[in-house]
Structure 1
Amino acid sequence: MGKIRINNMQFHTYNGVYPEEKKLGQRLEVDVELNYPIETKVHDDDLTTTIHYGHVYEDIENFVLTHPYNLIESLANNTLAMLTSKYPQATGIKLRIRKYAVPIAGVFDNVEIEVAGGDEQ
């Protein structure tokens, strides 16, 4: 099974529980992986036979920039639902969202949420 991946998309969003997160916002990174039978579907170098990853990027960008949530878990679940609805030809979709400016007293790189949907996860 082929996979189409877009890694480390970066967006400045206003997700979070605390007022300062909603006011100042923070950087989120998003990775997406779409399972698609490239080996059997793409033979003629025709863009219409594959999943247009430029459109996938634009759909994710538009969604995360216009749908603020308290929880990145909610953002992840709802972004995944949008993608599975919009790209039914993908046999599975995995989405990861990383949040860097997390109001936790501790030393770590980020908090990451991963969700998956579709027939093949």
Structure 2
Amino acid sequence: MPFNTYNGVFAEEKKLGQKIEVDCEMTYPIEAKVRTDNLEETVSYADVYDTIAQFVAHHNYNLIESLANNLLHEILRTYPMLDEVRLRIRKYSVPIAGIFDNIEIEVQGANDHE
């Protein structure tokens, strides 16, 4: 999912913004939980997209690690039926010397269903 954000340490990033991409993998036992072809038995991808889009639009951090960790906790809190969530966030146009396409970080977490 691509988004334009204003996350970053450098003034240019906060002023001009940059593109990020978010990958979200969700673990949910559909084999056991989805029985009747009813959306109420699963997690709406549209709702998860909206949660991510709203969070990214309204939260700016110096570090994409902070964005990733806080977004991870928001998804786990909002969708407690999920077993696990893994996020990968790629940031483009990073104002540092070097030749690369992007930088990427990954975080993962789980809901405690005990």
TM-score, length-scaled by structure 2 = 0.95
Residue 29 of structure 1 aligns with which residue? 21
Residue 75 of structure 2 aligns with which residue? 83
Q: Which amino acid aligns with 1:64?
A: V
CA offsets per residue over residues 49-84 of structure 1, 9 Å max, x none? 000110000000000110000000000000001011
Aligned counterparts of 1:76 and 1:101: Cα–Cα separation in 2 = 18
Residue 47 of structure 1 aligns with which residue? 39
SS for the counterpart of 2:7 is coil
Counting matched residue pairs gives 112
Does residue 1:96 correspond to 2:108, yes or no? no
Deviation >4 Å, runs of 4+: none
SS for the counterpart of 2:81 is coil
Aligned counterparts of 1:104 and 1:22: Cα–Cα separation in 2 = 15
Measured after TM superposition, the shift of residue 91 of structure 1 is 0.5
Query: Would the aligned equivalents of 2:76 and 2:111 in 1 still touch at CA under 8 Å?
Result: no
Q: Structure 1 residue aligned with 2:8, among 16, 19, 23?
A: 16
SS for the counterpart of 1:69 is coil
Query: Would the aligned equivalents of 2:68 and 2:89 in 1 still touch at CA under 8 Å?
Result: yes
Superposition RMSD in Å: 1.1
CA offsets per residue over residues 28-66 of structure 1, 9 Å max, x none? 000001100011111211000000110000000000110
Q: Which amino acid aligns with 2:89?
A: I
Query: Which is strand-richer, 1 or 2?
Result: 1
Query: Would the aligned equivalents of 2:5 and 2:17 in 1 still touch at CA under 8 Å?
Result: yes
Structure 1 gaps, min length 5 = 1-8
Measured after TM superposition, the shift of residue 13 of structure 1 is 0.4
TM-score, length-scaled by structure 1 = 0.90
Measured after TM superposition, the shift of residue 119 of structure 1 is 5.2
